[in-house]
Amino acid sequence: MKISLILPSRNNLKYLKWAYESIRKNQGSHEVQICIADDASSDGTAAWLAEITMDDSNVSYIINDSPNRLGHTILYDKLVTNVAKHDICMIYHADMYLCPGALDEIERLMQPKTIVSLTRIEPPLHPPGPEKILRDFGTEPEDFKESELLEDLKNHPLYIKNKTTEGVFAPWAFWKTDFLEIGGHDWLYAPQSKEDSDIFNRFHLNGIRFVQTWQGFVYHMTCRGSRRNTTDGAPNIHTNNPEWEAQNMRSTRNFIRKWGHFVKHDEYMKPIVPPKYDIGIVLKNGAGILPVLEPWCSKIYVESKYELVADSYIRSEQTNTRYDLAGRVKWDDTIFSDVVIEIDERTFTEQDFVFLQSISEILASEPDITGTFELGTMRIQIRKLVDSSQDLIKVTNE
C-alpha cells in the first residue's frame, strides 16, 4: 500500500521526532510518505526537517514562516492538496506512536467510500470510553515504555480479533478524492477545534462508511499538539492551554451556528447529525441574552429599542466568526424564517434553553407538524420544515 501521512506540527519537535521514528520503524512493507507542516515553530522544527529530508526522500514538508499561526485546520488541507502524492492519506498527530501491523489493518479495510480509524491506546489523562484503551506506557517520549507496549500487544493482546466498530477519530485514513469532493476541512474553525467533528458530519452525510479496527493501534500521548503542549502555552500535561480554551469556545459557537446543535455522536464516536432547519428567534423585552441565543438560530430579531445593544454585540463578536452577524441579528425586520420561536427574556428559563438546544430533534420527531404551539415559555410557529443539512456537505474555503 502507498499512503501519505498528514502531520501539522507547532513547537512539538520532541514528539514529532518520536512519531517519525515509530513510523519508519513499524511501517512494514508499505510505501509511506510523511507530509509535515511546520506552523511557525520556534523550537528548531524547520532545521530538523531540512536535515531529515537529506536522508529520507519520502518526507515532504511546508513551512509557515510568518509570525502568525495558521493552525492544523488549514494546514491539514494544504498538505493533502499540495503535498500528498498518494491516493490514500491519513490524518496523523505528532504525539502518536505507530504500532507494528497498524498499516496492514488500514490496507485490509480500505474499501471505496470508507474511512478507517486505528484504535488509540492512551495513558489515563482523560476519562475512559469504549472507543479507546486506557493503558499507561508513559506520558513523555523519554519515559515511553516501548518494550512493555510491544510485549502486551504480542503476548497479552489488547485487541479483539476481527472486531470493528463505526467510530471515526485520529488517526483516520481516507481516500484523497473523497476528501477533495467535500472541500476538505471548513476553515471556519481555524486555527483548531471542532474541525474534525464538522468534517466527520459532512463525510457521514456524503455516504462515507466509518470503520474502526481493533487490531491496529497507535499509542497516543494525547493533546501535545496544542491543547496540552507545555512548550506552547500549556502549564502542564493535565491542564489546557488558555489559548486553546478560548479558541475551543469560539469554534463551539461556530459549530452551533452551522449545524444547529452541539457535537453529537454515539458511544463509539460515530457522528449523529440531526436535521438543520431555518429557525428565527424573536426576542422580546430585553437583549441581555442575545449573546447566548444568537448561535442557536439562522436569524435573531430584537426590538428596535435594543438596537444599540445588538449593534454592540455584533461589533464585539464579529472577530470570532466568518458568519456575517449583521445578517443574522436584526431589528424591526420582516420575519421570513421557516420556524419562528418567540422568547420573552423576562420569563425565559434554563429549561427553555435545554429545549432550544434540542429543537432540531424535537421538530424532527414530528415532521408533519405545522401551526403554533408552546414549549416551556416559548411560543413556536412552524411554517414549514425543510432539512438543509445536505447543503452543508461541501465547503469552499478562501
Considering only CA atoms, which of 181, 179, 211 is closest in space to residue 195?
179
How much is the pTM?
0.94
What the block records as the C-alpha cell of 394 is: 461541501
Sequential pLDDT tens for the chain (398 residues): 999 999 999 999 999 999 999 999 999 999 999 999 999 999 999 999 999 999 999 999 999 988 888 999 999 999 999 999 999 999 999 999 999 999 999 999 999 999 999 999 999 988 899 999 999 999 999 999 999 999 999 887 777 777 999 999 999 999 999 999 999 999 999 999 999 999 999 999 999 999 999 999 999 998 666 665 655 565 666 566 667 678 889 999 999 999 999 999 999 999 999 999 999 999 999 999 999 999 999 999 999 999 999 999 999 999 999 999 999 999 877 888 999 999 999 999 999 999 999 999 999 988 777 799 999 999 999 999 999 999 999 999 97
Residues whose CB falls within 8 Å of the CB of residue 51, separated by 6 or more in sequence, listed in order: none
What pLDDT, on a 0 to 100 scale, did the predictor assign at position 235? 64
Q: Quick one: how many helices (H) and strands (E) in the chain?
A: 13, 16
Which class for 237: exposed (0-12), middle (13-18), buried (19 or more C-beta within 10 A)? Answer: middle
Is 267 within the bounds of a domain? Answer: no
Alpha-carbon distance of 224 to 119, in angstroms, equals: 18
Instruction: Kindly state whether residues 246 and 302 are assigned to the same domain.
Output: no
CB 212 within 8 A of CB 165: yes
290/235 same-domain check: no
Number of domains forming the structure of the chain: 2
Q: Are strands 133-134 and 329-331 parallel, antiparallel or unpaired?
A: unpaired
According to the model, what pLDDT value does residue 366 have? 82
In a domain, 45, yes or no: yes
Domain assignment present for 129: yes
Inside any domain, residue 132: yes
Name the amino acid, one letter, at 22: S
Query: Which residues span the domain enclosing 72?
Result: 2-259
Claim to verify: residue 224 and residue 317 sit in the same structural domain:
no
In a domain, 387, yes or no: yes
Do 230 and 125 fall into the same domain? yes
Domain co-membership, 222 together with 324 = no
- Are 250 and 331 in the same domain? no
C-alpha angle with apex 257: 253 to 260, nearest 5 degrees? 110
Considering only CA atoms, give the Rg of the chain. Answer: 23
Which of the listed residues 230, 259, 288 is the one where a domain comes to its end? 259
Domain-located, residue 268: no
In a domain, 204, yes or no: yes
Query: How far are the Cα atoms of 136, 140, 143, 147 from residue 152, in angstroms, in the given order?
Result: 12, 19, 17, 9
Q: Which of 315, 276, 313 is nearest to 302 (CA)?
A: 313
Whether 249 and 315 share a structural domain: no
Of 259, 293, 320, at which residue does a domain stop? 259
Mark whether 9 and 150 lie in a shared domain: yes
Are the beta carbons of 280 and 341 closer than 8 angstroms? yes
- Give Cα 307 distance to the centre of its chain: 35
| Helix H or strand E segment including 13 | helix 13-26
Residues 299 and 386 in one domain: yes
100 lies in the same domain as 201: yes
> Does 207 reside within a domain?
yes
- Say whether both 241 and 354 belong to one domain: no
Pick from 263, 207, 202, 251: which is nearest to 394 by CA? 202
User: Do 299 and 367 share a structural domain?
Assistant: yes
Q: Which one-letter amino acid corresponds to residue 272? A: I
Contact (CB, 8 A) for 220 and 120 = yes
User: Helix 72-82 to helix 195-205 angle, to the nearest 10 degrees?
Assistant: 50
SS3 of 122, please?
A: strand
Around Cβ 318, how many Cβ atoms within 10 Å? 13
pLDDT of residue 236: 63
CATH code assigned at 234: 3.90.550.10
